[in-house]
Amino acid sequence: MSLAERLWNVLPSRLRDGLADRRAWRYLAAAEQLPPLAVASEDLAAEVHMMLSGYHIIRALVALRTFYHHTALAETVGAMIHCDGTVSSAQKDYLLEQFPGVQFVDYPSSDNRLTRVLAPRPCCLRNYRLGISRQPKLLHPSVFARADKIILLDSDVAFYARPQRIMEWVSGVDPSPAYLVNWDQEASIPSSLPEIFATSFGSLTSHRGPFQIRHYCFDTGLLLYSRRRLSLDIVEDYYRWQASSPARKAPQMHWFHDEMLERTAYMLNFAAWEDARPFGREYVVGSAPADVCNHFTNGGYYKEKSLLRMYEAVHEITAASKQGGSGPHA
């Protein structure tokens, strides 16, 4: 690791985010010049849900622009942004100008609907109040979603081509839930991990049918699932187990660490659904070149090759907007 990289890593995370975001704006500022894109707000076929930090506004802008450009679903698929407490009123107004119809839910929410759902689930309520591991990303869609079909989308995702799997799911041609996999890491999981999951968590989902984790490097940057099928009781049982488990701080067992709570809770739910299956390898976790989309991880969003790829994607949308089209498949 170079001296510059070591110095970068010791900076406070929010300072790193702010500096990196300024660099991204320099590459992706053209996205600001696009005409407003109204998204559906009623009679939704599905809804995009995104948890957002105030340091990642440009990421949200590019993620939503590339998603709607390549799906051409703005008239039927709405968008709801779950703010993490750092998104300002001015930033919300800015995104609303860019995407008329987008909805916002703040964290923490005092909405009575959320209180009713979490009150009988004390571990969920505790982790939500403490702000541990992106809880709004997991809990808010179950309470606030306006459509049963959930498209969970992280802000550090970008699309470059038509996501056929998403199109088929929204239309009902293929109703099976879908999740991302970090294929590069899947082959190197600890040998003891499958047994830990099978013995510790099989009972959590046994009442709903067979329990099977197909991929352990499960990634929540892009998920397709039904709101009514997600079990917060499974989440509650997992949070109760995790709070007292030695695995919570065990090296090489990051699945059970606090910062992974939301991801593992989603993974356990997907393990209860026999029809769940991964996105294909054209959906890439990381910054390796992707045919359809990247979920950039571990700082990969801000690498020059990543920013250049997104720069090209934004300029493709710009060219299409000048020709009067809403997307490549309009």
Q: Are 101 and 40 in contact (CB under 8 A)?
A: yes
Decide if 99 is inside a domain.
yes
Q: Are 81 and 105 in contact (CB under 8 A)?
A: yes
Residue 219: which domain range?
37-280
DSSP letter at 33?
Answer: G
What's the rounded Cα separation, in Å, for the pair 192 and 182?
A: 19
- Give the pair of three-digit tokens for residue 215: 């991929």
Decide if 105 is inside a domain.
yes
CATH number at residue 233: 3.90.550.10
Decide if 70 is inside a domain.
yes
Decide if 9 is inside a domain.
no
What's the rounded Cα separation, in Å, for the pair 129 and 135?
A: 9
Decide if 130 is inside a domain.
yes
How many domains is the chain built from?
1
pLDDT for position 205: 59
Decide if 60 is inside a domain.
yes
What's the rounded Cα separation, in Å, for the pair 248 and 193?
A: 13
Calculate ∠ Cα 235-241-243, nearest 5°: 100
pTM listed for this prediction: 0.93
pLDDT band at 330 (very low <50, low <70, confident <90, very high): very low
Residue 10 has pLDDT above 70, yes or no: no
Per-residue pLDDT tens for 82-112? 999 999 999 999 999 999 999 999 999 999 9
Decide if 253 is inside a domain.
yes
Backbone phi, psi, residue 178, to 5° = -140, 150
Decide if 4 is inside a domain.
no
